[in-house]
Structure 1
Amino acid sequence: MTDKEIEQRLRRSRQLATLLDGAWGIPHTPWRFGLDAVLGLLPVAGDLLSALLGLGIVWQARKLDAPTTLQVKMLGNIGLDFLLGSVPVIGDIADVAFRKNIRNAKLLEDWVAAAGTQ
């Protein structure tokens, strides 16, 4: 895989993470939220759809041949967020605070950076 293809996959991951976790800011605070938090307001279906969208970043990791352990960790972040999302009010707060998609994109970027230095 070329450097350009790798960068393109990382860019897609970052864009999806930003859309889902940080597209909009709350005025006069450092807090940002995205589509994930909005979807989390819909009981069950919103959390399920959010988890499915979050799998897009795991898919990019898979296409980059990231190790299975990294992919499992990313899936764990999605699963934890899904479980937290099933708890009323706490799930809505967790969607804004936990930011699973940004975490997963960062995990992928860190792995690519570390793999590139070897």
Structure 2
Amino acid sequence: MKLAVVVLALAMTGCATVADIEHTLPTMSVISGKNPQEYAECFVARIADSRKPPQIEPHREGLRVIVPQKFASSEPTAIVDIEKRSAGGSSIKLFESGGNNPLRPKDIQHAVNACISGE
């Protein structure tokens, strides 16, 4: 039964592109005292056990982390935009494919939260 729920959840999310994901509403919007590079390093380390390595690229005044799906090697499932704040630190926005799906894995959200203050 649990396997059927997982398969159904995966089918509901489908294959999304970076453009599709970035045009959704953010599922989280937070601020950190870390600069974009420090925050990205923390985030990547936090999801290393549950995901393949994400793609990191420059984006506006900071970095964009493109997170792959858990089961498909190259399909994106989330985008974390980390922008430098003029007052110091970073502004972080998380965009997720299937962000309204309650059955989606929470490892990305947990990593975003854990890296805010430097836990």
TM-score w.r.t. length of structure 2? 0.32
Question: By percentage of residues, which structure has more helix?
Answer: 1
Question: By percentage of residues, which structure has more strand?
Answer: 2
TM-score w.r.t. length of structure 1? 0.32
